[in-house]
Structure 1
Amino acid sequence: MSAGVQNDKGVRSVQSGVDQTQLIVIQEQRYHLNPSKSKWISIGRAYQWSFHPVITISGLKNNGVTLNEEDWYEILNQEGAITNFFFSDDIFHSISANAVCITFERFPDFQTIKIEDRWRNVVYLGKETVLKLFQLAPLIAYTINMLKTQEFNKYFNTLVQDVRTTNMDVRDFVIQHISDLPHSENIRTAMELAYQHPNLKDSTRLQR
């Protein structure tokens, strides 16, 4: 497994039935993959996935794929084959791993890979973009590790329990008590969720 990050059982609990267009992503970091900044990879937390990491690779015209941690590592596991494709004339067959499918496409003037996610969304990446993607792998791994170390899901569940002893919802509780709390990334993330998504209907998370 690349970059020394280990999967955990929580990753396997991700619900593939959730429509990725409805995912609420918070604490998101974006890294560009080309000079024009038209392609990028981002890492954040998915609300519907119990705040586990979500990785998005976006291409031209906002086409992109949404990956959980395990999907991302499956792509990294194919780094050798993908890199070799761009530096050889050999025929490469499609690779299916976990919920990800990688297809190698060769044209007279260029080569590209097509990545397809569990929702059948696709993104096309050329050689320079792919090389940049793999170059960023240690940074992405560190970001994923940071998100997991913060244990925001545990923090937020504790916050919800505290809120249930008051007459406030999570948003009002965070706003009113923020000056009494020490500075932390978990508090900032809770504020982002409360301010940016105040109308979430999940009563077990956001309401008393």
Structure 2
Amino acid sequence: MTDMPPPAPAAEFWEARYRDTDRVWSGRPNDLLVREASDLAPGTALDLGCGEGADAVWLASRGWRVTGVDISGTALERAAGHAADAGVGDRVAWERHELGRSFPEGSFDLVSAHYLQSPVALDQQTVLRDAARAVAGGGTLLIVLHAGWPSWQTEPPFDVAFPTLDGILAELALPDGEWTVEVAETVRRPSASPQGADGFREDNVWRLRRL
């Protein structure tokens, strides 16, 4: 197993990642967002690490008023363009934040944090605790994180500690009696290698409601 790549400023790393290619992600909303949020009544939503905006656009298309947050200005520009193309540009506000150092103001009926995992510095615990604090009464916190490398990844590119279901709940340090855990499970989904070999990857999913 190789060592973690040399540290780079997070903003520089992610800006280069988006700037160096026309598209990083598929343009489709995350499957687990669709699964977990389809039955929620639309309100205000915060999409943390929104990337090129697919999740935010999907939520806006279902009637949510969304704040999309990312560290990369290039990603946010693309996201705004995708929202405009989908006819929901007036339902999404875009904010640039380096999560762990700054965070959007306000409270939200849904706070969605998908795959806030990074090969460069990211204070995940602080970000997720900030996310929980941003959930309005009666609102939902949805967290999805990779539980391990894909099955075909025989030589992981760097060392990383993947979160456990109980571990994230403990790190959130939620006040007793203020939250209920609606979902805490590991989901296996197909994941093909870059060479097209069949495989799978497991993700951990937490859906919590603030009372």
TM-score, normalised relative to structure 2? 0.30
| Larger relative contact order (Cα-Cα within 8 Å, sequence gap ≥ 6) | 2
Structure with a larger share of its residues in helix: 1
Q: Which has the larger radius of gyration?
A: 1
Structure with a larger share of its residues in strand: 2
